[in-house]
Chains A and B, each alone.
Chain A
């Protein structure tokens, strides 16, 4: 079974600085998708960014980018120019080749942004 590990339960960053959130996963599949979701205090989970495993180019969305290392099974999220609104729980998630289309989530990481 696939597993997703977020080893840091909490991190903090100063406003306007850059922070990197780590995620590793374990799978025997070669084709899969990886996602980062954000859950602010309002509770709704919001997709931040996604990466297709067969694409070597790292995904970017404005201030958010990933460092996808397939061989190392690592999928870190970099937030540049951190803003107060980035404060949230961040979850890394995996979706594999199986027919269930379910997501496997990490345990999450709480990001605090200090003014």
Chain B
């Protein structure tokens, strides 16, 4: 089975801090994604990557950056955390084919105080 592991299940940070959310997958997937999940808004794509060192902006990239130095690892970075970035963050990975499903991690519930 595909395993997508997010480094933290819960995280509390302070406004202005630089925050790193880590995601690792073990199935050699080319594609990796970061989503943000908020009640009543569903999942919204922040960034995705289709190869090492490659990235593309999703629908809500403002205030975020990403890093993919190795194929299995995709990091989401909040450069200067703000309270409106308090949310659930989900990482996903998939093969590079439209018909295959994305596999998700367990999510990180991030609170910015």
Which residues of A approach B to under 8 Å, CB–CB? Answer: 6, 9, 32-33, 35, 37, 42-47, 50, 52, 91, 95-97, 100-103, 105-108
Chain B binding surface SS class: strand
Q: How large is the interface on B (under 10, 10 to 19, 20 to 34, 35 or more residues)?
A: 20 to 34
List chain B residues, Cβ under 8 A from A42. Answer: 106
Which residues of B approach A to under 8 Å, CB–CB? Answer: 31, 33, 35, 40-45, 48, 50, 56, 58, 88, 90, 92, 94, 96-99, 101-102, 104-107
- B98 touches which one: A6, A33, A44, A45 (CB < 8 A)? A33
A84 and B45 alpha carbons, distance in the complex (Å):
30
Whether the pair B98, A101 counts as a contact (CB closer than 8 A) is yes
Query: How many contacts A-B (CB < 8 Å)?
Result: 54
Chain A binding surface SS class: loop
Whether the pair A100, B56 counts as a contact (CB closer than 8 A) is yes
Given contacts A9-B40, A35-B101, A101-B31, contact A43 B56 (CB under 8 A): no
List 18 additional A-B contacts (Cβ < 8 Å) besides A44-B104, A46-B104, A91-B43.
Answer: A43-B88, A43-B107, A44-B106, A44-B107, A45-B90, A45-B92, A45-B104, A47-B101, A52-B99, A100-B48, A101-B31, A101-B50, A102-B58, A103-B102, A105-B42, A106-B42, A107-B40, A108-B42
